[in-house]
Amino acid sequence: MNFIMHNISFQREDRWLFKNLNSELMPGQCLQVQGANGSGKSTLLRILAGLIELQQGEVIRQQPLHYIGHQNGIKLNLTVAENLALQAALFNSSTCLLPVIHHIGLSPLQDTVAGNLSAGQKRRLSFAKLLLSKKPLWILDEPTTSLDKSGQDYFIHLLNEHLANQGMAVIATHHPLFIDEERNRCLTL
Amino acid sequence: MSNLIIAMIRYELLITMRAAYSWVTPLLFFIIVVCLFPLAIGPDIDLLNKIAPGIIWVAALLAIVISINQLFSQDREEGYLDELLLSSYPLTLLISCKLISHWIAHGFPLIIISPCLGFILNLSTHQEYALVMTLLIGTPTLVLLGAIGSALTVGIRHHGLLLPILIMPLYIPVLIFAIGAMTAASVNQPIVGYLAILGALFLITLAFSPLLTSISLRIGVNQC
């Protein structure tokens, strides 16, 4: 099923953040949303995820989806392993957790409380849910923020694997991600 | 689904235990407020006994209001609330798990400590029994009602005293019947009728609160 956004507009306090946005994604494609600070990228993504009510227009998408916002969606008082176990329960995932911890590169830190991780490590931990349960649509807000070079490469690898498996992704980013030309779509706010 | 319920309650309790201030603060507030009254009023045992139910119940009510403030605020800051909203499980189920663990961590300690405070305020054995029973049935109702207000204010930064103003009027019926039971106990009358009404109030809020909280939460997050 394709992902379609049709004539989406959003108004905040008498100011139009964006007007009549249109885009369509086929399975295996990625939409990169770009724009200056305050142009409404995050708001658009929250609308597409269904967290903010749509004011005008229509979004056709497949539920369920994965959303990672500015905050990582992890509990800072739980350890890495406990966070994964909680997310596995939330997503009804029976995936074995140890390989996932290894995959995201946090094996030595699995008993560390998430609040004590660095910003980049927290980001890596937030990617765990992408592996725990496979969902056709990812909506990610600045996913490479605070990641080092190897972290960014790891994310690109994850994303390419997802797209190769006919997944779709909507990603807000300041720095364009290098994805195959035929998979890549762009939207500038 | 039972896996989810057990995991949610377990990890919610673990989170609260690790952030000890979140459950210790309301408990200490409860103890200190009750202990201040004998100091302020002086050694008039009869007067203390007469106003004890009101003191303990109002202090317990305020302690719950303080604790309920934290119900969703931390989750929102961590982005965990989005996870709950986008989960494939019903939001009412997830909220119910959170409320159960919130009551265990914040309501139950008040009940455990209340007989000691009743002793300070010169309560008889029958009154102590009434106190524990009313708190046991009443505090879950307070948590359930508070959750609705907490969800409504989740999108408002620095909402300060808005939450108490929103939810305290809803606490009035519980307070009236709990004090009714305590007053009846002080003249050695049966308290079963009052407990039954408190139980009915609990069941009514139990039926509606998770649903209203989930609707309020979606509205609250929409404002973020």
- Asked if B2 is an interface residue toward chain A (Cβ–Cβ < 8 A), one would say no
ipTM of this model?
Answer: 0.88
How far is CA A71 from each of CA A16, B49, B78, B83, rounded to the nearest angstrom? 25, 51, 6, 11
Which two structure tokens, joined as six digits, stand for B14? 């673990």
- Asked if A119 is an interface residue toward chain B (Cβ–Cβ < 8 A), one would say no
- Quote the minimal CA–CA distance from B215 to chain A in Å: 12
- Asked if A76 is an interface residue toward chain B (Cβ–Cβ < 8 A), one would say yes
In this predicted structure, the answer to whether residue B224 has a pLDDT above a threshold of 70 is no
| Residue (of A169, A153, A98) closest to A120 by Cα position | A153
* Least confident among A52-66, B71-85, B189-203: A52-66
pLDDT tens, B12-30? Answer: 999 999 998 889 999 999 9
How far is CA A23 from each of CA A20, A29, A163, A164, B176, rounded to the nearest angstrom? 10, 12, 17, 20, 58
| Average per-residue pLDDT for chain B | 92
Residue identified by tokens 């049709």 is A6
DSSP-assigned beta bridge partners for residue A33: A172, A187
Rounded to an integer, what distance in angstroms lies between the CA atom of residue A66 and that of residue A127? 10
Nearest by CB to residue A74, choosing from B3, B78, B88, is: B78
How far is CA B110 from each of CA B24, B104, B107, B117, rounded to the nearest angstrom? 10, 10, 6, 10
Q: What is the pLDDT along chain A (189 residues), one digit of tens a residue?
A: 788 888 888 888 888 888 888 888 888 889 999 888 888 888 899 998 888 888 888 888 877 889 999 889 999 999 999 999 999 998 888 888 888 888 888 889 889 999 999 999 999 999 998 988 888 899 999 988 888 888 898 999 899 999 998 889 999 988 888 777 777 888 887
- Of A107-111, B151-155, B171-175, the range with the highest mean pLDDT is B171-175
In this predicted structure, the answer to whether residue B1 has a pLDDT above a threshold of 90 is no
**Are B77 and A86 an interchain contact pair (Cβ–Cβ within 8 Å)?**
no
A136: CB partners within 8 A, 6+ apart: A1, A27, A62, A65, A166, A167, A168
- Written as one letter, the residue type at A50 is G
Cβ-based burial of A111 (10 A; exposed 0-12, middle 13-18, buried ≥19)? exposed
In this predicted structure, the answer to whether residue B50 has a pLDDT above a threshold of 80 is yes
Rounded to an integer, what distance in angstroms lies between the CA atom of residue B20 and that of residue A32? 42
| Residue A14: other Cβ atoms inside 10 A | 5
Q: Give the DSSP letter string of chain B.
A: -HHHHHHHHHHHHHHHHHSTHHHHHHHHHHHHHHHHHHHHH-S-HHHHHHHHHHHHHHHHHHHHHHHHTHHHHHHHHHTHHHHHHHSSS-HHHHHHHHHHHHIIIIIHHHHHHHHHHHHHTT--HHHHHHHHHHHHHHHHHHHHHHHHHHHHTTTSTT-TTHHHHHHGGGGHHHHHHHHHHHHHHHTT---HHHHHHHHHHHHHHHHHHHHHHHHHHHHHHHT-
- Asked if B8 is an interface residue toward chain A (Cβ–Cβ < 8 A), one would say yes
Q: What is the end-to-end Cα distance of chain B in Å, rounded? A: 30
- Chain B stretch 81-140, residues whose beta carbon is closer than 8 A to a beta carbon of chain A: 82-89, 94
Rounded to an integer, what distance in angstroms lies between the CA atom of residue B37 and that of residue B48? 8
Q: What is the pTM of this model?
A: 0.91
Nearest by CB to residue A67, choosing from B7, B77, B82, is: B82
